[in-house]
């Protein structure tokens, strides 16, 4: 509460003005902090995608789940680890629990073919009805795009 000194006497009255300068300063500092830290919060998995040509996967209003097979063989569903060992016991129940019907598969090009087929088989038995495979697009001259 602020008081005003009146030059006419010793009466102290309430001051009706609010000083918003400190509030604006604090809000600007918070805005700058959030602008700097927001890009750092989005981290992803590093996967070297194979190159291929194909039609794009049309996305409906509901976002498909993203299943990633990393170079070391670890499997992730939307960034959450699903394990490396017994995928039948971890990946299948995870997909069924989330009721995944549409999925995008992102596999590193160094992953053995058998590992990718195992993941595809588990996804099929878990009820995934539509599958898109994420690849690196090619340049018009046939080179992989960077």
| Chain centroid offset of residue 15 CA | 50
Residue with tokens 């596999």: 107
pTM over 0.85: no
What is the mean pLDDT of the segment spanning 106-114?
A: 89
Q: Residues 130-145: pLDDT tens digits? A: 888 888 877 766 666 5
Question: What is the DSSP track for 70-82?
Answer: -TTS-EEETTEEE
Residue 30 is predicted with a pLDDT of 95
Find out whether 101 and 51 touch, Cβ atoms under 8 Å: no
What is the mean pLDDT of the segment spanning 96-125?
A: 89
Which residues share a beta bridge with 131? 103
Q: Residues 71-107: pLDDT tens digits? A: 888 899 888 888 777 888 888 888 888 888 889 999 9
């Amino acid at each position: 509460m602020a008081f005003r000194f009146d030059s006419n006497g010793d009466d102290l009255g309430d001051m009706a003005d609010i000083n918003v300068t400190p509030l604006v300063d604090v809000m600007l500092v918070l805005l700058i902090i959030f602008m700097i830290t927001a890009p750092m919060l989005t981290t992803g998995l590093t996967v070297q995608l194979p190159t291929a040509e194909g039609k794009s996967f049309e996305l409906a209003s509901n976002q498909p789940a993203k299943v990633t097979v990393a170079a070391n063989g670890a499997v992730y569903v939307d960034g959450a680890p699903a394990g490396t060992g017994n995928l039948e016991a971890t990946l299948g129940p995870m997909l069924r629990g989330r009721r995944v019907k549409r999925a995008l598969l992102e596999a590193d090009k160094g992953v053995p073919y058998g590992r990718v087929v195992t993941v595809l088989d588990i996804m099929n038995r878990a009820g995934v009805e539509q599958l898109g495979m994420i690849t690196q697009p090619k340049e018009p001259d046939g080179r992989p795009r960077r």
